A = this chain, B = another copy of it.
Amino acid sequence: MQSNGHIEQAIGLLRQKGLAQAGKKADRVTEQGAICSYIHSGGRVGVLIEINCETDFVARNEEFQTFAREIALHIAGSVPSPQYVRKEDAPTDVANEICLMEMPFIKDPSVTIGDMVTQKIAKMGENIVIRRFTRYQLGEA
């Protein structure tokens, strides 16, 4: 049992180190990435998203592509719909619940979209930025 404790401690330290390194990567330039779309409800909702990373190598990686699709799915399906990527992009009187990075992920509300980005930076070793998105709902004003 003592060795299990050591393993858990080691995992915890590695995780902290990974996330700390993710924080350091957050200022690095991201000029590559992917434009990804998600069409929902038989064509009644659609999302277009741009997610950036540092290299074309990561951009073409299947894990990165899947990540982009998951974020697009979240934007399509979540209620309320996100209106801004970051709270810094929103007017000061806007609730955090419509800022994408602050929202609990629709498929796993224990993490926010911002947490998921940080985890993906730690895992893939490159800065990753959700740059912009557009969400269309059929017939909305």
Contact surface of A with B, Cβ cutoff 8 Å:
31-39, 42-48, 50, 52, 59-60, 65, 132, 134, 136-139
Contact = CB atoms under 8 A, between A and B. Distances in A.
A15 to B, nearest CB: 30
Given A33-B138, A138-B32, A47 B50 contact: no
Q: Copies of this chain, how many?
A: 2
A136 B44 CA distance: 20
B50 A138 contact: yes
Contacts of A44: 35
What's the dominant secondary structure at chain A's contact region? strand
A87 to B, nearest CB: 22
Nearest to A40: B35
Given A43-B65, A134-B136, 12 more contacts: A31-B139, A32-B138, A35-B45, A35-B46, A36-B43, A37-B38, A42-B60, A46-B50, A48-B48, A48-B136, A132-B136, A134-B134
B37 A46 contact: yes
Return the 8 tightest CB-CB contacts between A and B, nearest first: A35-B46, A37-B37, A48-B48, A34-B43, A134-B134, A35-B136, A31-B139, A50-B136
